[in-house]
Amino acid sequence: AGFAVSFVVLTREVPMQKFELVYREIVSKLATASGTRGLRGLIAHWLDTLQPHLGEAPDEATRAARVESLAETLRGLDGMDLNFANGLTALVQNRFRPLAGEEMPEAREIERHTLYEWFEGGRLSKRELRSFQIFDSLNKTNSKRLLVSLIEYLRYLGYQGLILLLDELETVMTQSSAVRNAAYENVRLFIDNAEQAHHLHVFFSIIPDVILADKGFKSYDALWSRVRSVGENRRLNYRSIVIDLHRTPLEVPELLELGKRLRRIHQCAYRWQAEPIVTDAFIQQVCDTQQRMGLLPEVRLFIKQIVRYLDMAEQDGTLEGIDLTDQIVATQKEIAQEQAEQQPPKWDA
């Protein structure tokens, strides 16, 4: 089933130094190849798959035994947090346990909403959670443990793990030393854990200043010791902790494949057929034009070009009359202006 993916933009509301808030955004933006969105969607889809096994059990005793067996399996997963496992079991019970006595369907709906809210990192009282054998809401202490549990749950469902994409880390550089250190410590933990795990792959999109500026990684020794070699080796290492995208020597065939993959992503995101308009031949023309202008190594420029053409084609239904040279020049100016005007917001803790 491949990897599940989550793309998180680090902002004032989702700061890197507060991992519990980052975790909440991770589960909110979780996406899978099966089309589910968010952890709620993933769990709901899983419950649907259990219908033949639990919803159509021959009798109540069999159903109860199967639920208990499932609960034991979940609790026994390596690294699984007990609260996470109990929450999943409670949702299974909520879905498949017959209504008892005068119990109303509305009460089940309230229970289900409470459980999903817990999985999404909502603030709930211990009284609200006690009946589900859940003893803590999301907090600074358990957030990293819950991320491990999420990965184990994904693996249990047949996924290889989680790919986590994090953007705008540079915003932390404008903050106080204490806040930066807390954020950089979380980055360090990601690097250390990712080196040991085959099931979590974390990618930070950063500008060079994050590494090289005085308030960047070099201001935090525990992190700097892991990335300081960047730039020292003239040979590009794609397996390095830090990869300089400006030095990635992508050739035309690789850019073509990149363009096709961007096209597939755009099609999925906007639910349309891009290939009849943004054809393979058109992507080749973009590569050829950029190469003729001596700009082939500018991967970011190529990406922005392809995305721009995809947006135009999806909205206008055609790319007729497009001057590729003029578009490349315009995009270059946009990139230069973005870099000149980029002023990260300033805030403290």
Q: Identify the pLDDT of residue 142.
A: 96
**pLDDT at residue 185 above 50?**
yes
Q: Identify the pLDDT of residue 344.
A: 47
Choose the weakest-confidence range: 119-128, 235-244, 247-256.
235-244
Residue 349: which pLDDT band, with cuts at 50, 70 and 90?
A: very low
Q: Identify the pLDDT of residue 88.
A: 99
Q: Is the dihedral of CA 341, 246, 225, 193 positive or negative?
A: positive
**pLDDT at residue 279 above 90?**
yes
**pLDDT at residue 113 above 50?**
yes
Distance from the Cα of residue 9 to its chain's centroid: 9
Q: Identify the pLDDT of residue 341.
A: 64
**pLDDT at residue 273 above 50?**
yes
Mean pLDDT of 37-45: 98
Where in the chain are the domains?
3-144, 168-247, 252-341
pTM for this predicted structure: 0.78
Residue 94: which pLDDT band, with cuts at 50, 70 and 90?
A: very high
Residue 168: which pLDDT band, with cuts at 50, 70 and 90?
A: very high
Mean pLDDT of 42-55: 96
Q: Identify the pLDDT of residue 181.
A: 96
Mean pLDDT of 192-208: 80
**pLDDT at residue 222 above 70?**
yes
Q: Alpha-carbon Rg of the chain, whole angstroms? A: 24
Mean pLDDT (the chain) is 90
Residue 211: which pLDDT band, with cuts at 50, 70 and 90?
A: confident
Q: Which amino acid is at 320?
A: E
**pLDDT at residue 195 above 60?**
no
**pLDDT at residue 74 above 70?**
yes
The residue whose two tokens read 């023309």 is 285
Q: Identify the pLDDT of residue 232.
A: 56
Mean pLDDT of 222-228: 87
Mean pLDDT of 73-78: 97
> 102 or 59, which is more confident?
59
Q: Identify the pLDDT of residue 191.
A: 84
Classify residue 5 by burial, with Cβ atoms within 10 Å: 0-12, 13-18, 19+: middle
Residue 231: which pLDDT band, with cuts at 50, 70 and 90?
A: low
> 206 or 26, which is more confident?
26
